[in-house]
């Protein structure tokens, strides 16, 4: 029997709040790559304003990714 621990939504929010797309690596690697590229592109085009707008999206996406991960993990164990 393999036991996989669940991820914490609070830690995901905290890491994403501090590090933005880089903090999303805790919750979703694919999402972190997508938002990292998007933040860089928008940051260049809008002189940094677009990157700041991506930050809240990263936080929400990271929290939802952890919730989905935990939900799927619990469903697999049943």
At 78, the pLDDT band (50, 70, 90 cuts) reads confident
Choice between 22 and 2, residue whose per-residue pLDDT is larger: 22
- The CA distance from 1 to 12, in Å, is 27
**What's the pLDDT tens digit per position in 17-74?**
999 999 999 999 999 999 999 999 999 999 888 888 899 999 999 999 999 999 999 8
Whose tokens are 């979703």? That residue is: 28
- Give the position of tokens 């990271």: 62
Interior/surface letters 18-40, b for 16+ CB within 10 angstroms, e for the rest: eebbebbbbbbeebbeebbebbe
* pLDDT given for residue 55 in this prediction: 92
Reported residue count of the chain is 78
Position 77 scores a pLDDT of 79
Tokens of 18: 């501090």
pTM for the whole structure = 0.86
């Amino acid at each position: 029997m393999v036991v996989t621990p669940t991820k914490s939504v609070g830690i995901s929010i905290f890491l994403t709040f501090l590090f933005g797309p880089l903090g999303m690596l805790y919750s979703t690697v694919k999402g972190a790559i997508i938002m990292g590229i998007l933040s860089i592109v928008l940051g260049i085009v809008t002189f940094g304003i677009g990157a700041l707008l991506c930050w809240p999206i990263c936080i929400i996406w990271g929290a939802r990714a952890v919730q989905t991960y935990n939900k799927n993990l619990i469903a697999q164990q049943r």
